[in-house]
Amino acid sequence: MRPAHRGFTLIEVLAALVIVALGMLGVIQAVTQTARNGTYLREKTLAHWIALNVITERRLQPSPPEVSESSDEVEFAGRRWRWTMRVTQTEVESLRRMDVSVRPADAPDGSALETVTGFYGTAIGAVGGGSLAWVGAPGSDGQQDGDGDANPDDQNPDDDSGGKPVQPEPPPEDTSEEEE
């Protein structure tokens, strides 16, 4: 009688290799997806920064942006980007909405990677806070909630400013000498 040899058969070895190969394929796909996500998030962040820069540049202008659509290309982080800004008028006369869409310059039109919305407006109000009266706002003609009987002078009977913003008086300067 022949002694029995202990070991793996060819079928068992092939089955083990298939299992290991499938496991490795899953790991490789996970690493590839993570790399893609990192690249996508980097590009989306850069596009967001570009859109914020465009909105900030427009806000720093002395006059409001024209109600129109404009676009331009910019180089940022070693890559060409294309931004498009659409300015629309809001219900408030002195407030304009700016929607800025950014995409890589080589991407097709209409495929924005990021869109950011900002506003350009002029508020009229007293220094130090309080409620603001927006120029051209619905109901800013002295009426509140559309009831028709509100008067801006009724809000503060001691206010003789005629509804105009009032600068508060500066605090009195301390003229006393400090003790040493």
Tens digits of per-residue pLDDT, 64-78?
899 999 999 999 999
* Cβ-based neighbours of 107, under 8 Å, separated by 6 or more: 82, 113
Task: Determine, yes or no, domain membership for 75.
Answer: yes
CATH number at residue 79: 3.30.1300.30
Domain span at residue 69? 11-123
Task: Determine, yes or no, domain membership for 135.
Answer: no
Number of domains in the chain: 1
Task: Determine, yes or no, domain membership for 46.
Answer: yes
φ, ψ of residue 115 in degrees (nearest 5): -130, 130
Supply the pLDDT for residue 7: 82
With cut-offs at 50, 70 and 90, classify the pLDDT of residue 149: very low
Mean pLDDT within 43-58: 96
Mean pLDDT within 141-165: 48
Over residues 78-110, the pLDDT tens digits come to 999 999 999 999 998 889 999 999 999 999 988
Task: Determine, yes or no, domain membership for 153.
Answer: no
